[in-house]
Amino acid sequence: MSDPRPGAVLRGAVDLSALRSRAAAPASPTGHAPASGSPSLVFDVTDATFGQVLELSRTVPVVVDLWAEWCGPCKQLSPVLEKVVTELDGRLVLAKVDVDANPQLAQGFRAQSIPMVVALVAGQPVPLFTGAVPEEQVREVFGQLLQLAAQQGVTGVVPRGEGGEADASASEPDEPALPPLHQEAFDAIEAGDYARAVTAYEAALAENPRDDQARAGLGQVRLLDRVQHLDLEEARAAAAAAPRDVDAQFAVADLDLAGGHVDDAFERLLDLFAELPADERAPVRERLLELFGLVGDADARVIRARGRLASLLF
């Protein structure tokens, strides 16, 4: 059975498998990386200290900023990330990775371009965006990240001491009360009942169409609901046997996106869109737009796919 995690669908995918074996052994802190149990809100991380950051992400979401000294956009984005993380009062921490000095981390995060911003939640990577994005978008994405972390039970905070440093340990606070429909969705996700979570988020949006957290959660759980009972090999075989079967192609595209193969999902649906008669294309376009929303409008893969879709429409 395919078992995609919610963290894989927010903003694409990365592969940290090459670094997990290193993370299993205790790392010696160097530079400004946090010693175990005493993180600051903003700190440097290296190839050697990545294991500590993975462990920290089981308590509090960790935002990872991949940057380099020569990168102009990095210098524009980093202060924005630090500002927003600081304002969130320890609900997130920011780990900064100099890709030139830490090639293994750069490779593990598949940093083909920088700045690249990724999160870690309970040890799982959650790609967020690439490029220097506006502060408003950073706040929106971090809000979605906090919701996703809450769905996975990662709700710790890092208390701030003097000078912005953390106290001796990350603590588990009393969880803030969620709106009733959000709580219902959270409980349903915890139980693996994605259909009930969809219903709860839809009800929340009916009450408040501007509820961005409900909108983000709805997109994620709809995808998880669709793929939870699919078998990847069976789905691929069915799609290969019927290349113009819309439902068969949808199933593989959903599985690809949930597994982090974003370009594969987009290309499959764009190829299908190109093959179908004009009067049969609408469902494919709607599914593409839904998946674009999950990955993020600023993502380079979405921008490329939107460009191709536009060329096929006109």
Query: Residues 191-238: pLDDT tens digits?
Result: 778 889 899 999 999 999 888 778 878 888 888 888 888 888 999 999
φ/ψ (deg, to 5) at 280: -115, 5
Q: Which entry of 71, 132, 141, 224 is annotated as an active-site residue?
A: 71
d(CA 108, CA 51): 13
- Among 22-36, 108-122, 214-228, 241-255, the range with the most confident prediction by mean pLDDT is 241-255
pTM higher than 0.85, yes or no?
no
Between 175 and 36, the higher pLDDT residue: 175
Decide if 74 is catalytic.
yes
Residue 122 CA, distance from chain mean position: 12
Residue 175: band (very low, low, confident or very high) from pLDDT cuts 50, 70, 90: very low
**Which amino acid appears at position 90 of this protein?**
G
Q: Which entry of 74, 197, 257, 302 is annotated as an active-site residue?
A: 74
Q: Is the pLDDT of residue 307 over 90?
A: yes
Tens of pLDDT, residue by residue over 5-51, are 333 333 334 444 444 444 433 333 333 334 333 347 899 988 888 88
Buried/exposed code over 107-136 (b: 16+ C-beta within 10 A; e: otherwise): ebbbbeebbbbbbbbbbbbbbbbbbbbeee
Cis preceding linkage at 115, omega within 30: yes
pLDDT of residue 97: 92
Residue 172: band (very low, low, confident or very high) from pLDDT cuts 50, 70, 90: very low
Residue 96: band (very low, low, confident or very high) from pLDDT cuts 50, 70, 90: very high
pLDDT of residue 211: 83
- Per mean pLDDT, which range of 129-133, 156-160, 167-171, 207-211 is the poorest? 167-171
Residue 63: band (very low, low, confident or very high) from pLDDT cuts 50, 70, 90: very high
CB contact at 8 A, 103 and 109:
no
d(CA 255, CA 247): 12
DSSP track, the chain: -----GGGTSS-----HHHHHHHTSPPPP-TTPPBTTB--SEEE--TTTHHHHHHHTTTS-EEEEEE-TT-HHHHHHHHHHHHHHHHTTTSSEEEEEETTT-HHHHHHTT-SSSSEEEEEETTEEEEEEES---HHHHHHHHHHHHHHHHHTT---B--B-GGG-B-SS-B-PPPPPPPHHHHHHHHHHHTT-HHHHHHHHHHHHHH-TT-HHHHHHHHHHHHHHHHTT--HHHHHHHHHH-TT-HHHHHHHHHHHHHTT-HHHHHHHHHHHHHHS-GGG-HHHHHHHHHHHHHH-TTSHHHHHHHHHHHHHH-
Q: Is the pLDDT of residue 127 over 60?
A: yes
CB contact at 8 A, 122 and 131:
no
Q: What is the mean pLDDT of residues 269-289?
A: 95
Handedness of CA 78, 83, 86, 92 (dihedral sign): negative
pLDDT of residue 48: 81
Q: Is the pLDDT of residue 249 over 70?
A: yes
pLDDT of residue 160: 61
Between 162 and 69, the higher pLDDT residue: 69
Residue 172 CA, distance from chain mean position: 23
